[in-house]
């Protein structure tokens, strides 16, 4: 080391500057805002409009500080939320500058002159930045003796979000969130001066004194006349620094100081958002976005925020039920009795034609693993599948390669950094809202090129500044194969380092798509990420809740892997079933036709399955059905035994999100006596003389890790999972016989069972329509707005028609409208349908 | 002070000719001669000329026009825009609209020269929406200029293209603030933008943009023809050139008076025929209501940027509003404050809430319901607005109040006296009941 000429000088690293804040020398990265620099030093400058994830506005003027540049004091105090650090700058906050302190006190007083004295009845009271900062930086009494500005209140700006304009400090956080983050035409600032207010077109009408329209009408439109839609509106409530935005769901329900908070993880989609669950006396009152920069930053979608009431539904099943042989009714029984009945029936079925397991896609890793192990050692079968949706053998082969991947492969951050992202058979805003937000951020902040292979310019396409690579439903594989020739730009983009391909759940409905994706990825070097729609799918895959895969992803046909697992599970050699099991459809078909005697069913809605009619038939035909459920369902209707299980709030565990990132959470509501699936299965297995070692989620996870590392110790067969091509029975599934192709997928907010009990959320769902091209509409004599009927020989579905840029001869219908399209028409994405005007 | 004759008109010289707004008349009176000269020179030379002339912005802030032009990028990677601020909203100001009515081609010629100097091929003239007659006249003049080849493609064979779009605002004072104007021009609600980026970096449609006042640009052809030395013969060292003073209020002949910068009110009053009916002067604004008021003490303050500032006010838009002794200062201040309350855009707390509060206090005082503490409150609230607001509207809003109380505190106090006696009366009434 050479001697530095001046040792007293602190070294300023590259890309940094040196400045003085309140007399303290500080090194700060270039571009850092003064308000953050001060915060790093422990000085909190009061603020309202500033938000670290939104572009600076400088609107509230609460954060004023004194600044000296190049030895010259700036004539006016500066907004520390808009000014960035500079070399040699001298900053004085309220701590050392009487000018800054007076400026802040002055702004605070001004903010309060028109603020109502609502604190005692305001939802925000007790956690309100205005309250807190007024205490810290305001005067004790107001000099304002004149008339306050008043507004009628509250105004519903959606069925979920209520606006109180008197409380609003006009910080623009909500409007900037909607414009910058979500991209929704949601709320805007209207009017000017002291009459400036947040609103939609209809709220302005209320302001000028016309009779208030019905809340439902009012929430339905924005100023552009288009229906108000935002899947992210709840975030505005959370970031509102006052109680101006409240949710219909939480309004007046509790006070922050009565609540106990627990960090939690969202159970809805595979984004795996960090959340905070607030509860009071054993009941969840609300959910808020947690702060996880790697995953959801500080945002969540409205489903994650509001859809939790199902857990407190009055029809929750709390005690085991066994069907009474005489009356045919389910009757409450003791655990001992119910477990005995179930164990007897399942043992008998296992020893006869067999029993199979359908887990559903919403399990934690721990629970999914318990099902996986239960199937293998208690039922001695590989007949287990987590895919309660359309699925294919091709998909399973592909998924074998997904097992074990971590965020090092593709992550949220990788999406943000990617030069090009190709979305295939996925509607990110509907299926993984946080993936959508990252895509939008990537497009807006980093000019990422986002291309969507789909059927029409959806809002996901628009709001990610995306391009649509349009194809017929079912034609996605061909479209990908055509990229090299017909989309050279995209091809070159995918070959750039960091390019990503995102693949959604309906890929399983398109023949040949997985191999087309793999071909494309191999040729261009782009990385592929599989983004399932449900929170539990990735974990269930890892846990081996699949007919061809063991925990950790080895093929069931791999003798070495089986042997390793047998030793990890302390089983006799050779006891694990070796032939690949049936997939969901195979299981249902076997049950329906008498090839299986019993079904163990987790949280599944038959309407979600590829063939709901087959599912119902299978449930009715199976000799014995064990349902593990929270609430009565189409499965419990047919069940012989129903075992109640815990909700996410009542148990601990972890989800694996689509990145393969563990999302662990602890028990929020203690002492409910509700048991997680893994515990119930463990006890049931004991009744059947098998030991799962999954008494608790912790035990289950430890056992899972042992199983996975046992699998890792053997060399995996390289060539896929070794699935024997299943003789997939197709008789029950219809391809339709119409002339048009059907495009369909699920919207975020629909009739899903975990959204039950939340009407305000349901009110923000997108309206169900039939979308079709202008030419297709004309050919079928359909006027936009009028009803159109889509049909197959199985049935029909009538919805209002809307024109979109679909290929001619294609119609789009949401998969739940609320009718399940599979139930109504017996076809899915890519199926053939007929179309007619009006109610046929 | 300059030696030039204060009444030799420059900008206003054509105003009294019949049909002065016609292209043919304009051409007869030296019109479109400057543009020919300018287009034969490299753009940088025009920028340098305007810099040398020391032309300062006539929209209120007095920023040197040539310096502002030189901020525009030299390349044309993005489109450049020239935007003419013809919103003329400052109370008392009425120079730009008469100019555009009487001599619209001088503005258009200035636009061609300025656009050429800044490598812009599209110029927008943002006109205050209420002045329909002026908008019509501008449209007609622009049409004439296109027909004569002064606008459009390959102007006068120079290879330079320019289009002018005349855009009508929708009636908000704040839309005269240059970044709010750009928002409004883009079709949004007019609210000032956060700076940086400055318009020269990212202005209209995020492209390099210069915003100049009508009078600033209309002065440019004269500089091109007359040269910078000629221009500097008028006015003062730091504030050279002629300026249109809009004189309104209690004078014999209110109107537009062109005079060199640095002219005093005493001289201007002479031009305007003196105080109306000889009633003595009480207070006046040098440059609109946003500039702190002056009194009779200030009759000899040289009205240039430096002189007005030294005397504690600002030159502003040289909108000289003259009030005689019959006018109550608190009343006038209340009226102005109501204007700012009405025109505050609402973006920032100090101006939005502050003007609302100030107006109420003043209204109460004028009604005779004020107290002495109200005067302190007014001053303190003004202190919390001045320099704390997002844009200069907030600063301007407090000027009438602080200067009014500075010079006429007694009048405010007198209003409180009436209240004091009334209060004690009602207290007695209350006691008897
Ligand atoms: C509230 C407010 C209103 C303004 N109104 C006008 C106006 O009507 N006309 C104008 O030319 N400048 C107005 N300005 C000044 C402009 O922001 C800008 O400084 C000017 O147009 C620049 O032109 P100049 O450099 O040629 O003077 C206003 C400024 C503020 C803060
Ligand atoms: S509603 Fe809340 S977030 Fe929106 S501007 Fe008002 S105070 Fe800010
Ligand atoms: S984005 Fe997904 S994980 Fe996040 S809150 Fe919404 S549903 Fe839950
Ligand atoms: S000072 Fe603030 S509220 Fe007033 S006009 Fe400017 S930005 Fe708007
Ligand atoms: S927090 Fe800085 S201006 Fe609002």
Flag if B348 and A59 touch (Cβ within 8 Å): yes
Please count the other Cβ atoms lying within 10 Å of the Cβ belonging to residue A726: 17
Q: Which residues contact A487 (CB under 8 A, 6 or more apart)?
A: A451, A469
Picking from A241, A232, A237, A265, the residue whose alpha carbon sits closest to that of residue A251 is A237
Kindly identify which residue of chain A lies nearest to residue B364, measuring between CA atoms. A146
The domains of chain B, with CATH numbers, are 13-226 (3.40.50.11540), 242-324 (3.10.20.600), 329-421 (1.20.1440.230)
Contact list in B for residue A56 (CB cut-off 8 A) is 194
Of A57, A149, A189, the CB nearest to B189: A189
| CB contact at 8 A, B228 and B199 | no
Give pLDDT, residue B76. 87
Distance B395 CA to ligand 5 centre (A): 18
Instruction: Find how far residue A134's CA is from the centre of its chain.
Output: 36
Q: Ligand 1 atom 29: the closest Cα is on which residue?
A: B177
pLDDT of residue A525 exceeding 50, the answer is: yes
Q: Which residues contact B230 (CB under 8 A, 6 or more apart)?
A: none
Distance A177 CA to ligand 2 centre (A): 10
If residue A838 lies in a helix (H) or strand (E), which one and from where to where? none
Give pLDDT, residue A714. 79
Flag if A107 and B341 touch (Cβ within 8 Å): no
The complex scores an ipTM of 0.94
Mean pLDDT of chain A: 92
Flag if A111 and B349 touch (Cβ within 8 Å): yes
| CB contact at 8 A, B316 and B284 | no
| CB contact at 8 A, A461 and A468 | yes
Give pLDDT tens digits for A139-149. Answer: 888 899 999 99
Measured CA to CA in angstroms, residue A43 lies from A305, A814, B159 at distances of 32, 51, 59
Mutate to test the pocket of ligand 5, among A33, A34, A39, A47 (most ligand atoms within 8 A of CB): A47
If residue A742 lies in a helix (H) or strand (E), which one and from where to where? strand A740-743
Q: Which residues contact A246 (CB under 8 A, 6 or more apart)?
A: A123, A124, A154, A161, A162, A164, A237
Q: Any CB–CB contact under 8 A between A64 and chain B?
A: yes
Picking from A432, A377, A676, A391, the residue whose alpha carbon sits closest to that of residue A550 is A377
Measured CA to CA in angstroms, residue A50 lies from A41, A174, A240, A727, B349 at distances of 18, 12, 11, 60, 14
Could you give the CA distance from residue B56 to residue B114 in angstroms, rounded to a whole number?
14
pLDDT-derived band at A723, boundaries 50, 70, 90: very low
pLDDT-derived band at A209, boundaries 50, 70, 90: very low
Distance A82 CA to ligand 2 centre (A): 19
**Does the CB atom of residue B386 touch ligand 4 within 6 A?**
no
User: Residue A660 — φ and ψ, nearest 5°?
Assistant: 85, 20
CA atoms within 13 A on the CB side of A356: 30
Would you give per-residue pLDDT tens digits along chain B (433 residues)?
A: 434 455 679 999 999 999 999 999 999 999 999 999 999 999 999 999 999 999 999 999 999 999 999 999 999 889 999 999 999 999 999 999 999 999 999 999 999 999 999 999 999 999 999 999 999 999 999 999 999 999 999 999 999 999 999 999 988 999 999 999 999 999 999 999 999 999 999 999 999 999 999 999 999 999 999 999 999 999 999 999 999 999 999 999 999 999 999 999 999 999 999 999 999 999 999 999 999 999 999 999 999 999 999 999 999 999 999 999 999 999 999 999 999 999 999 999 999 999 999 999 999 999 999 999 999 999 999 999 999 999 999 999 999 999 999 999 999 999 998 777 665 554 444 333 3
Flag if A193 and B388 touch (Cβ within 8 Å): no
CA–CA min distance B382, chain A (Å): 10
Of B344, B380, B384, the CB nearest to A193: B344
Q: Any CB–CB contact under 8 A between B370 and chain A?
A: no
pLDDT of residue A676 exceeding 70, the answer is: yes
Contact list in A for residue B389 (CB cut-off 8 A) is 61
Could you give the CA distance from residue A196 to residue A218 in angstroms, rounded to a whole number?
19
**Does the CB atom of residue A301 touch ligand 3 within 6 A?**
yes
Q: Given the DSSP bridges, would you call strands A662-665 and A810-812 parallel, antiparallel or unpaired?
A: unpaired
**Does the CB atom of residue A171 touch ligand 2 within 6 A?**
yes
Give pLDDT, residue A206. 40
Q: Which residue has the tokens 């990212």?
A: B202
Could you give the CA distance from residue B46 to residue A239 in angstroms, rounded to a whole number?
51
User: Residue A275 — φ and ψ, nearest 5°?
Assistant: -135, 170
Choose from A31, A99, A107, A185 for mutation: most chain B CBs within 10 A: A107
Measured CA to CA in angstroms, residue A714 lies from A381, A559, A704 at distances of 22, 10, 16
Kindly identify which residue of chain A lies nearest to residue B195, measuring between CA atoms. A82
Q: Is B86 helix (H, G, I), strand (E, B) or coil?
A: strand
Of A56, A61, A195, the CB nearest to B389: A61
Could you give the CA distance from residue B422 to residue B310 in angstroms, rounded to a whole number?
42
Q: Any CB–CB contact under 8 A between A139 and chain B?
A: no
Please count the other Cβ atoms lying within 10 Å of the Cβ belonging to residue B428: 10
Q: Any CB–CB contact under 8 A between A459 and chain B?
A: no
pLDDT of residue A214 exceeding 50, the answer is: no
Written as six digits, the tokens of A447 are: 């000019």
Give pLDDT, residue B425. 53
Could you give the CA distance from residue B338 to residue B358 in angstroms, rounded to a whole number?
9
CA atoms within 13 A on the CB side of A104: 28
What is the number of H-type helices and E-type strands within chain B? 16, 9
DSSP line for A433-493? HHHHHHHHHHHHHH--EEEEEESS--HHHHHTT-EEEE--TT-HHHHHHTHHHH-HHHHHH
Written as six digits, the tokens of B210 are: 């210069």
Q: Which residue has the tokens 């440019």?
A: B220
Crossing angle of the two packed helices A98-113 and A129-137, in degrees rounded to 10: 130
Flag if B364 and A143 touch (Cβ within 8 Å): no
pLDDT of residue A4 exceeding 60, the answer is: no
More confident of the two residues A8 and A7: A8
**Does the CB atom of residue A450 touch ligand 2 within 6 A?**
no
Could you give the CA distance from residue B128 to residue B138 in angstroms, rounded to a whole number?
12
Contact list in A for residue B352 (CB cut-off 8 A) is 170, 193-194, 196
Note the helical H segments in A543-691: 559-568, 584-592, 612-621, 677-687
DSSP line for A657-692? -TTS-EEEE--SSTT-----HHHHHHHHHHHTT---
Kindly identify which residue of chain B lies nearest to residue A142, measuring between CA atoms. B377
Q: Is A635 helix (H, G, I), strand (E, B) or coil?
A: coil
Q: Any CB–CB contact under 8 A between B371 and chain A?
A: no
Atom of ligand 3 nearest to the CA of A267: 8
User: Residue B408 — φ and ψ, nearest 5°?
Assistant: -130, 35
| CB contact at 8 A, A648 and A676 | no
What is the torsion angle, in degrees rounded to the nearest 10, for the CA atoms of residue A607, residue A610, residue A614 and residue A620?
-40
Give pLDDT tens digits for A286-298. Answer: 999 999 999 999 9
Diameter over CA atoms, chain B? 91
More confident of the two residues A205 and A776: A776
Written as six digits, the tokens of B421 are: 């006696």
Q: Any CB–CB contact under 8 A between B343 and chain A?
A: yes
**Does the CB atom of residue A648 touch ligand 3 within 6 A?**
no
pLDDT of residue A308 exceeding 90, the answer is: yes
pLDDT-derived band at A229, boundaries 50, 70, 90: confident
A70 Ramachandran zone, left/alpha/beta (phi>0; psi -120 to 50)? left
Q: Any CB–CB contact under 8 A between A444 and chain B?
A: no
Q: Which residue has the tokens 């104007």?
A: B181
CA–CA min distance B30, chain A (Å): 45
Q: End-to-end alpha-carbon separation of chain A, Å?
A: 87
Least confident interval from A165-174, A530-539, A830-839:
A830-839
Q: Any CB–CB contact under 8 A between B366 and chain A?
A: no
Written as six digits, the tokens of B371 are: 């107290």
- Give the sign of the dihedral formed by CA B421, CA B424, CA B426, CA B429: negative
Give pLDDT tens digits for A175-199. Answer: 999 999 999 876 899 999 999 999 8
Could you give the CA distance from residue A457 to residue A616 in angstroms, rounded to a whole number?
36
Long-range contacts formed by B152-157: CB under 8 A, 24+ apart = B155/B35, B155/B39, B155/B112, B156/B35, B156/B36, B156/B39
- Residue A179 DSSP one-character state: I
Q: Any CB–CB contact under 8 A between A141 and chain B?
A: no
Written as six digits, the tokens of B249 are: 């209020």
Atom of ligand 3 nearest to the CA of A271: 3
| CB contact at 8 A, A270 and A432 | yes
Which ligand sits closest to the CA of A103? 5
Q: Given the DSSP bridges, would you call strands A64-69 and A72-73 parallel, antiparallel or unpaired?
A: antiparallel
pLDDT-derived band at A409, boundaries 50, 70, 90: very high
Could you give the CA distance from residue B69 to residue B83 in angstroms, rounded to a whole number?
12
**Does the CB atom of residue A62 touch ligand 5 within 6 A?**
yes
A-B contacts at Cβ under 8 angstroms: 100
Query: pTM score, two decimals?
Result: 0.93
Choose from A115, A146, A192 for mutation: most chain B CBs within 10 A: A192
Give pLDDT, residue A205. 44
**Does the CB atom of residue A680 touch ligand 3 within 6 A?**
no
Picking from A665, A391, A379, A384, the residue whose alpha carbon sits closest to that of residue A507 is A391
| CB contact at 8 A, A739 and A759 | no
Q: Which of residues 184-223 of A touch B (CB under 8 A)?
A: 189-196
Q: Which of residues 188-227 of B touch A (CB under 8 A)?
A: 189, 194
Could you give the CA distance from residue B223 to residue B235 in angstroms, rounded to a whole number?
14
Give pLDDT, residue A278. 98
Give pLDDT, residue B423. 59
Written as six digits, the tokens of A124 are: 């925000």
CA–CA min distance A131, chain B (Å): 17
CA–CA min distance B98, chain A (Å): 29
Flag if B387 and A147 touch (Cβ within 8 Å): no
Mutate to test the pocket of ligand 3, among A238, A271, A439 (most ligand atoms within 8 A of CB): A271
Q: Any CB–CB contact under 8 A between B388 and chain A?
A: yes
What is the torsion angle, in degrees rounded to the nearest 10, for the CA atoms of residue A724, residue A729, residue A734 and residue A739?
50
Flag if B349 and A102 touch (Cβ within 8 Å): no
User: Residue A331 — φ and ψ, nearest 5°?
Assistant: -125, 145
Q: Any CB–CB contact under 8 A between B364 and chain A?
A: yes
Give pLDDT tens digits for A618-674. Answer: 999 999 999 999 999 999 999 999 999 999 999 999 999 999 999 999 999 999 999
Flag if B349 and A147 touch (Cβ within 8 Å): no
Q: Any CB–CB contact under 8 A between A61 and chain B?
A: yes
| CB contact at 8 A, A136 and A197 | no
């Amino acid at each position: 080391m050479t001697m530095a000429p001046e040792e007293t000088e602190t070294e300023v690293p590259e890309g940094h500057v040196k400045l003085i804040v309140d007399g303290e020398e500080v090194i700060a990265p270039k571009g850092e805002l003064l308000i953050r620099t001060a915060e790093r030093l422990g000085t909190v400058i009061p603020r309202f409009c500033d938000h670290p994830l939104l572009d600076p506005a400088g609107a509230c003027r609460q954060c004023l500080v004194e600044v000296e540049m190049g030895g010259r004091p700036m004539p006016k105090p500066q907004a520390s939320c808009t000014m960035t650090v500079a070399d040699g700058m001298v900053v004085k906050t309220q701590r050392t500058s009487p000018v800054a302190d007076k400026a802040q006190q002055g702004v605070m007083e001004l903010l309060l002159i028109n603020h109502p004295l609502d604190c005692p009845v305001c939802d925000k009271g007790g956690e309100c930045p205005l309250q807190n900062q007024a205490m810290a930086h305001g005067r004790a009494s107001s000099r304002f003796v004149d008339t306050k500005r008043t507004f009628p209140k509250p105004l519903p700006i959606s069925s979920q979000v209520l606006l109180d304009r008197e409380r609003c400090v006009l910080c623009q956080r909500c409007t900037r969130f909607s414009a910058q983050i979500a991209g929704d035409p949601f709320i805007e600032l209207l009017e000017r001066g002291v009459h400036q207010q947040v609103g939609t077109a209809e709220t302005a009408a209320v302001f000028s004194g016309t009779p208030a329209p019905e809340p439902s009408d009012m929430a339905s439109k924005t100023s552009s006349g288009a229906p108000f839609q935002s899947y992210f509106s709840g975030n505005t409530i959370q970031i509102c620094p006052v109680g101006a935005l409240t949710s219909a769901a939480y309004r007046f329900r509790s006070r922050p100081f009565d609540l106990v908070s627990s960090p939690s993880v969202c159970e809805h989609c595979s984004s795996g958002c960090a959340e905070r669950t607030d509860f009071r006396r054993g009941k969840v009152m609300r959910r808020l976005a947690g702060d996880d920069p790697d995953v959801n930053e500080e945002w969540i979608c409205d489903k994650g925020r509001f859809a939790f009431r199902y857990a407190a539904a009055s029809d929750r099943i709390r005690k085991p039920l066994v069907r009474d042989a005489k009356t045919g009714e389910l009757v409450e029984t003791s655990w001992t009795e119910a477990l005995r009945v179930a164990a007897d029936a399942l043992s008998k079925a296992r020893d006869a034609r067999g029993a199979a397991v359908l887990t559903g896609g919403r399990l934690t890793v721990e629970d999914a693993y318990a099902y996986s192990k239960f199937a293998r050692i208690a039922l001695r079968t590989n007949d287990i599948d987590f895919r309660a949706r359309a699925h294919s053998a091709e998909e399973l082969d592909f998924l074998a390669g997904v097992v074990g991947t971590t965020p090092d492969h593709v992550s949220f951050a990788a999406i943000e950094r990617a030069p090009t992202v190709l979305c295939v058979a996925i509607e990110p805003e509907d299926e993984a809202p946080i993936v959508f937000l990252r895509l939008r951020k990537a497009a807006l902040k980093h000019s990422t090129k986002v291309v969507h292979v789909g059927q029409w310019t959806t809002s996901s396409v628009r709001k990610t500044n995306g391009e649509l690579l349009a194809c017929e439903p079912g034609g996605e594989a061909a479209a990908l194969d055509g990229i090299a020739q017909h989309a050279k730009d995209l091809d070159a983009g995918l070959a750039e380092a960091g390019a990503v391909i995102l693949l959604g759940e309906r890929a399983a409905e398109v023949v040949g798509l997985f191999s087309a994706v793999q071909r494309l990825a191999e040729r261009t070097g782009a990385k592929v990420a599989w983004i399932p729609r449900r929170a539990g799918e990735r974990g269930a895959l890892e846990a081996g809740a699949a007919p061809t895969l063991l925990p950790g992803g080895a093929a069931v046909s791999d003798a070495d892997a089986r042997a390793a697992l047998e030793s990890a599970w302390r089983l006799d050699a050779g006891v694990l079933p070796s032939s690949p099991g049936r997939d969901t459809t195979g299981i249902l078909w076997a049950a329906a036709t008498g090839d299986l005697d019993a079904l163990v069913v987790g949280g599944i809605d038959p309407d979600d399955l590829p063939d709901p009619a087959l599912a119902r038939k299978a449930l009715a035909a199976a000799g014995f059905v064990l349902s593990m459920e929270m609430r009565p369902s189409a499965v419990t209707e047919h069940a012989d035994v129903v075992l109640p299980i815990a909700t996410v709030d009542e148990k601990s565990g972890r989800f694996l999100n689509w990145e393969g990132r563990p999302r662990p959470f602890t028990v929020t509501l203690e002492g409910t006596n509700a048991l997680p699936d893994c515990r119930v299965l463990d006890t049931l297995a004991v009744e059947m003389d098998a030991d799962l070692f999954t008494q608790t989620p912790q035990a289950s996870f430890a056992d899972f890790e042992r199983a996975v590392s046992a699998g890792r110790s053997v060399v995996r067969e390289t060539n896929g999972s070794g699935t024997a091509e299943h003789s997939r029975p197709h008789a029950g599934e219809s391809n339709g016989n119409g002339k048009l192709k059907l495009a369909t997928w699920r919207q975020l907010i629909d009739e899903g069972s975990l959204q039950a009990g939340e009407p305000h959320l349901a009110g923000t769902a997108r309206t169900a329509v039939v979308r079709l091209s202008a030419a297709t509409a004309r050919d079928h004599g359909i006027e936009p707005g009028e009803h159109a009927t889509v049909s197959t020989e199985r049935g029909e579905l009538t919805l209002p028609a809307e024109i979109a840029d679909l290929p001619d001869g294609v119609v789009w219908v949401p998969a739940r409208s609320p009718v399940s399209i599979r139930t109504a028409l017996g076809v899915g994405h890519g199926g053939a349908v007929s179309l007619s005007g009006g109610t046929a | 002070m300059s030696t030039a004759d204060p009444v030799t008109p420059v900008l206003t010289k054509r105003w009294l000719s019949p049909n002065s707004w016609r292209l043919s008349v304009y051409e007869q009176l030296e019109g479109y001669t400057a543009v020919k000269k300018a287009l034969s020179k490299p753009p940088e030379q025009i920028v340098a000329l305007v810099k040398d002339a020391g032309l300062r912005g006539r929209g209120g802030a007095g920023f040197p026009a040539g310096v502002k032009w030189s901020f525009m990028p030299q390349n044309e990677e993005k489109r450049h825009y020239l935007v003419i601020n013809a919103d003329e909203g400052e109370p008392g100001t009425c120079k730009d609209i008469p100019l555009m009515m009487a001599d619209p081609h001088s503005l258009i010629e200035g636009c061609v020269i300025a656009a050429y100097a800044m490598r812009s091929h599209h110029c927008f003239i943002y006109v205050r929406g209420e002045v329909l007659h002026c908008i019509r006249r501008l449209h007609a003049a622009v049409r004439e200029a296109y027909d004569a080849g002064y606008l459009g493609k390959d102007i006068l064979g120079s290879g330079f293209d320019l289009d002018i779009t005349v855009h009508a605002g929708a009636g908000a004072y704040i839309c005269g603030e240059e970044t709010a104007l750009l928002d409004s021009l883009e079709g949004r609600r007019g609210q000032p933008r956060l700076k940086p980026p400055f318009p020269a970096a990212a202005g209209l449609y995020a492209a390099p943009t210069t915003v100049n006042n009508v009078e600033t640009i209309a002065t440019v052809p004269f500089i091109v023809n007359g040269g910078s030395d000629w221009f500097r013969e008028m006015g003062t060292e730091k504030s050279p050139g002629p300026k249109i003073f809009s004189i309104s209020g209690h004078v014999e002949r209110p109107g537009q008076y062109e005079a060199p910068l640095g002219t005093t009110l005493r001289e201007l009053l002479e031009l305007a025929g003196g105080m109306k009916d000889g009633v003595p002067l009480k207070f006046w604004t040098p440059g609109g209501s946003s500039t702190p008021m002056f009194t009779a003490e200030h009759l000899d303050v040289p009205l240039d940027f430096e002189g007005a500032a030294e005397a504690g006010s600002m030159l502003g838009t040289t909108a000289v509003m003259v009030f005689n002794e019959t006018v109550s200062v608190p009343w006038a201040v209340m009226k102005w404050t109501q204007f700012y309350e009405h025109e505050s855009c609402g973006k920032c707390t100090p101006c939005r809430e502050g003007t609302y509060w100030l107006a109420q206090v003043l209204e109460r005082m004028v009604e005779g319901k004020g107290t002495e503490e109200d005067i302190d409150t007014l001053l303190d609230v003004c202190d919390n607005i001045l320099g704390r607001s997002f844009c200069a509207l907030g600063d301007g809003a407090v000027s009438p109040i602080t200067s009014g109380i500075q010079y006429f505190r007694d009048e405010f106090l007198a209003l409180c006296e009436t209240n004091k006696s009334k209060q004690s009366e009602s207290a007695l009434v209350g006691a008897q009941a």
